Chain A
Amino acid sequence: MNFSELAVGQVIGTRSLEITRADLVRYAGASGDFNPIHWNERFAREVELPGVIAHGMFTMGAAVQLVTDWAGDPSAVVSYGTRFTKPVPVADLDGAPGAVVEVTGTIGALDESAGTARIDLAVTLDGQKVLVKAQATVSMA
Chain B
Amino acid sequence: MTTNPELQGRSYPAGDVYSVGRESIREFARAVKATHPAHFDVAAARELGHADLVAPPTYAIIVAQRADAQLINDPDSGIDFSRVVHAEQKFSHHRPIVAGDELVAELHVDTVRAMGGGAMITTRAEISTVAGDAVATTVSAILVRGEGQ
Contact = CB atoms under 8 A, between A and B. Distances in A.
Interface of A: 17, 23, 26-27, 29-33, 35-37, 43, 47-48, 55-58, 60-62, 64-65, 67-69, 73-75, 77-84, 87, 136
Query: Secondary structure at chain B's binding surface: helix, strand, loop or mixed?
Result: mixed
B32 A75 contact: no
Given A69-B35, A78-B92, 12 more contacts: A26-B30, A26-B31, A27-B32, A31-B28, A33-B65, A48-B145, A57-B61, A60-B89, A68-B56, A73-B38, A79-B91, A80-B57
A74 B89 contact: no
Contact of B31 (A27, A48, A80, A84): A27
B135 to A, nearest CB: 12
A84 B89 contact: yes
B88 interface: yes
Contacts of A43: 82
Given A57-B89, A81-B88, A84-B87, A74 B56 contact: yes
B12 interface: no
Nearest to B141: A83
Contacts of B57: 61, 64, 67-68, 74, 77, 80, 136
Interface of B: 24, 27-28, 30-36, 38-39, 48, 50, 54-58, 61-62, 65-66, 81-93, 96, 139, 145, 148
B33 A74 contact: no
Contact of A17 (B33, B54, B93): B33
B27 A56 contact: no
A79 B31 contact: no
A25 to B, nearest CB: 9
A60 B27 CA distance: 16
> Could you say which of B57, B62, B88 has the most chain A C-beta atoms within 10 Å of its C-beta?
B57
Contacts of A73: 36, 38, 48, 54
B89 to A, nearest CB: 6
A32 B58 contact: no
A44 to B, nearest CB: 10
